[in-house]
Chain A
Amino acid sequence: MFDRADGAWHAAPDLPRAGAGGRPAIAIGAHHYLFLDVPAGWELPGRALLLDARTLTWSAADFHTPEHSCVAPLGRGAVLVSGGVDSEGRALVDNALVHFEVS
């Protein structure tokens, strides 16, 4: 993030992955929403959290997407995961279609 006060770039929360969310919620069926890569701590891997909108209760799942990737909800539990960076910071070209279900 560029700080005009001192004219330098600083480490700071970055779009869109950092923070708890910054990703669109994914509707699965009529009653569930999936939030991807919700951090439980700054340098800990994010986790996927499933919300039951009827009871407003959460459950966690071990699903991850590349940092700074694009997640586009497509409806009916499907998402496009596009690009991002790998663990070395290299930009990715991968596109993948992921289909979620709740049983």
Chain B
Amino acid sequence: MLTWTTRALPPLTAGRQRHTGVRLSDGRVALIGGRAGSAAPPSDGAAVVSLGDVTVLDLETGTLASWPGLASPREGALAWDLEGALVVTGGMAHTGMEPIEDETESYGYREDDGAARFPVQHESRRQPRSWGIGAANTRVGEHFVLSGGMCFDAGAFVYFSAVRRLDPQTLDWIACGALAIPRYLHGAAAVSATELLVTGGLRSDDDTESKLEELDATEIVELGGTTRRGPPLPFAAAEPLVATRRRARPGRRGLRRELPGSGGGVR
């Protein structure tokens, strides 16, 4: 049985959503990018600004510190701490209305007398059309592994199946497997030192996302080996979803499910 306890920590200085948190090797937590303000998708594209700042929360002292920001502001990024270097990749930026096309940024950091010297180095690699947004990052054994994802390219949605591991020295992503079902916004966990379990997520059978499918299929990817079916999620597969062409309102997802025989009633 799962149990949990909750303890309040010092709040952020301003409301924030879709940011990324990663535990640093010294125990602090870096909060990276995200979006300021309300949840509403913009009606004119001008209200939403993706953030590039990095805030570090010290869980012991309850203090917040600002670090120099990302070269490319983004929300929904993926991040790893490589014991002295913070690696950030993927996500999307609203200011440019474009996904961050798989740009990987790396910042070295160190501490002198409690003051962050950050970054002490910055490197960037781009691997366009490789994972886009909604990929999953997972530690599998000694490897930092990235799976799936989606990007919007030339008017079409492209879903990815590749599984890659990060070479921390070169910041290159090295192919080490493939999902049977391309997907994004999925979950992933290491079920052994060499195996990645991928669960759920979204996909569409066409490149317009007019019908999105919530996946309950799971897969187990052996790094450098084969992919096999994993245990299904403990509930039935959802019906295909139909994206409305309405603009979403705050607090609503703006999507509806077509009810059987009803011609598309709204739940």
Contact = CB atoms under 8 A, between A and B. Distances in A.
Interface of A: 1-5, 9-16, 18-25, 27-28, 33-35, 38-43, 48-51, 53, 56-61, 63, 67-75, 80, 82-85, 87-103
B185 A18 contact: yes
B31 interface: yes
Contact of A72 (B23, B216, B231, B267): B23
A36 B38 CA distance: 22
Interface in B73-99: 75-76, 91-92, 94, 97
Contact of A19 (B6, B75, B201, B250): B201
Nearest to B136: A21
Contact of B4 (A1, A9, A98): A98
A18 B209 CA distance: 14
Contact of A15 (B7, B59, B133, B155): B133
B231 A57 contact: yes
A95 B231 contact: no
A58 B17 contact: no
A61 B81 CA distance: 29
Contact of A11 (B216, B233, B254): B254
B200 interface: yes
Interface string B27-40: 00101001111111
Interface string B134-157: 101110000000000000100100
B185 A92 contact: no
B223 interface: no
Interface residues of B, number: 92
Contacts of A90: 15, 38-39, 250
Nearest to A67: B39
B200 A19 contact: yes
A84 B8 CA distance: 15
A2 B45 contact: yes
Contacts of A2: 45, 94, 97
Given A80-B57, A82-B21, A89-B250, A96 B185 contact: no
Contacts of B133: 15
Contact of B11 (A20, A43, A56, A93): A93
A20 B216 contact: yes
17 contacts: A2-B94, A9-B45, A10-B245, A11-B247, A18-B253, A21-B201, A22-B201, A33-B189, A38-B187, A41-B238, A41-B267, A43-B253, A43-B255, A56-B231, A58-B234, A68-B18, A80-B57
A20 B231 contact: no
Given A12-B209, A20-B200, A97 B17 contact: no
Contacts of A73: 23
Given A4-B152, A72-B23, A88 B187 contact: no
Contacts of B244: 11
Contact of B12 (A1, A67, A95): A95
